[in-house]
């Protein structure tokens, strides 16, 4: 009988363990180990714990900007680096580009002259590098680029430059029942090329700027072509619009780093019913480990949103003070 009883004991303990394991596991472990203790970390944890209790699970929607919020964006947006590389590799089929702006400046590596061509020039570069192919072909080209391209300062693949503290925040919120979305001015097909692997955000939860698409059957096979026309710009006032188009409900948590995120932060936190809401701005003030820029930077301008943060109660996170580490691995410039 003794052996019989101990078998039951094992079964009982196993059963209790299996029942309690999912509840007991997280206790006592710091969910945000790369965040220094302080008021910002405390406010994030308080928000998440209140949200878990007070907000129905389907309404726990968190939106994250990408460039400058989840990964770096200097010295130029990484997608723009992709566009320039793509133009260079297409140039052999376009001899006329050597004498034609904005391509001439791209090919001679004169970024300043390229920028002088203005929005029209930049859009031409984006269109030429992001269209004229099927969505499948684009995925393949992007995959290859992500593998081979290197950041000009850190000399590592661009996907090594994601922010470790934000990866922890994404995972922490998902653990609290949040659905995490990317809502970015960046191209949606570009971000989908790495968002699942890098951030754990599946393609259907990535919202971004996009070009028009066209479906067609060629030789009995279906394709979707990427056209050179802009369809939607998911930036500034476009961000709440993108959220409404794609998600259809107001988020309760928004994370950004620049004035491009101002309206998304407003839509998430201002006059938005009762219950916990959070708005957070990542401030790039760490020239030693990353980059330092804000009000006067042409990329990632942080001005109006910073001014509004105080009265709105948005957290302003100092990369220098609040983050123990920036990237998963240390990179020396």
The interface region with a copy of itself, picked from 14-22, 41-49, 113-121, 324-332 by CB under 8 A, is 14-22
Which neighbouring-strand residues pair with 12? none
The strands making up 315-318's β-sheet, listed across from edge to edge, are 133-134, 221-232, 206-218, 179-187, 61-64, 253-256, 278-283, 315-318
Least separation in angstroms between residue 297's CB and a copy of itself is: 24
Q: Is residue 270 close enough to count as binding a copy of itself by CB under 8 A?
A: yes
Q: Is residue 23 close enough to count as binding a copy of itself by CB under 8 A?
A: no
Site string for a copy of itself, 144-173 (x = CB under 8 A): ------------------------------
Site for a copy of itself in 44-63 (CB under 8 A): 58, 61
45 contacts: CB under 8 Å, gap ≥ 6:
31, 32
Least separation in angstroms between residue 222's CB and a copy of itself is: 5
Q: Which is nearer to a copy of itself, 27 or 215 (CB)?
A: 215
Binds a copy of itself by CB under 8 A, chosen from 18, 23, 27, 330: 18
Binds a copy of itself by CB under 8 A, chosen from 2, 215, 298, 310: 215
CA atoms within 13 A on the CB side of 107: 17
Q: Are strands 133-134 and 221-232 parallel, antiparallel or unpaired?
A: antiparallel
Q: Is residue 241 close enough to count as binding a copy of itself by CB under 8 A?
A: yes
Q: Which is nearer to a copy of itself, 4 or 95 (CB)?
A: 4
Site for a copy of itself in 193-212 (CB under 8 A): 196, 202-206, 210
202: how many CB neighbours lie within 10 A of its CB? Answer: 12
3-state secondary structure of 174: helix
Site for a copy of itself in 60-119 (CB under 8 A): 61
Q: Is residue 5 close enough to count as binding a copy of itself by CB under 8 A?
A: yes
Work out the angle at residue 87's Cα, subtended by the Cα atoms of residues 84 and 91, and round it to the nearest 5 degrees: 145
Tokens matching residue 220: 């009995």
Total of residues contacting a copy of itself (CB under 8 A): 53
Q: What's the CA gap between 233 and 216, in Å, rounded?
A: 25
Q: What's the CA gap between 261 and 92, in Å, rounded?
A: 39
96: how many CB neighbours lie within 10 A of its CB? Answer: 9
Q: Is residue 260 close enough to count as binding a copy of itself by CB under 8 A?
A: no
Q: Is residue 25 close enough to count as binding a copy of itself by CB under 8 A?
A: no
Long-range contacts at 219-225 (CB < 8 A, ≥ 24 apart): 223/134, 223/135, 223/136, 224/134, 224/135, 225/133, 225/134, 225/135
Q: Is residue 245 close enough to count as binding a copy of itself by CB under 8 A?
A: yes
Q: Which residues bind a copy of itself (CB under 8 A)?
A: 5, 8-9, 11-19, 58, 61, 135, 179, 181, 188-189, 192, 196, 202-206, 210, 213-217, 220-222, 224, 231, 237-241, 244-249, 263, 266-267, 270-271
């Amino acid at each position: 009988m003794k052996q019989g009883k101990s078998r039951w004991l094992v079964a009982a303990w196993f059963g209790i363990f299996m029942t309690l394991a999912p509840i007991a596991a997280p206790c006592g472990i710091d969910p945000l180990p790369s965040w220094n203790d302080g008021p910002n970390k405390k406010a994030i944890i308080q928000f998440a714990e209140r949200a878990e209790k007070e907000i129905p699970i389907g309404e726990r929607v968190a939106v994250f900007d990408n460039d400058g919020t989840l990964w770096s964006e200097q010295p130029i947006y990484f997608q723009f680096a992709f566009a320039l590389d793509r133009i260079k590799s297409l140039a052999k089929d376009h001899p006329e580009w050597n004498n034609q702006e904005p391509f001439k400046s791209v090919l001679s590596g004169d970024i300043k002259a390229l920028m002088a061509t203005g929005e029209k020039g930049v859009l031409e570069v984006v269109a030429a590098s992001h269209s004229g192919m099927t969505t499948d072909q684009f995925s393949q080209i992007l995959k290859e680029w992500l593998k081979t391209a290197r950041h000009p300062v850190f000399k590592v693949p661009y996907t090594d430059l994601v922010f470790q503290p934000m990866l922890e925040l994404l995972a922490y919120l998902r653990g609290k029942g949040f659905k995490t979305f990317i809502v970015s001015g960046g191209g949606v097909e570009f971000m989908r090329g790495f968002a699942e692997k890098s951030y754990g955000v599946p393609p259907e939860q990535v919202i971004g700027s996009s070009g028009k698409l066209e479906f067609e059957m060629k030789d009995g096979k279906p394709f979707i072509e990427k056209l050179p026309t802009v369809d939607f710009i998911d930036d500034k006032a476009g961000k709440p619009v993108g959220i409404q188009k794609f998600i259809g409900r107001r988020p309760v948590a928004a994370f950004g780093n620049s004035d491009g995120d101002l309206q998304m932060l407003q839509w998430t936190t201002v006059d938005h019913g009762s219950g916990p809401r959070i708005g957070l701005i990542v401030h790039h003030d760490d020239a030693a480990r990353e980059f330092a820029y804000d009000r006067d930077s042409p990329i990632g301008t942080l001005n109006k949103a910073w001014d509004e943060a105080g009265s709105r109660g948005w957290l302003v996170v100092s990369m220098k003070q609040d983050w123990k580490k920036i990237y998963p691995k240390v990179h020396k410039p």
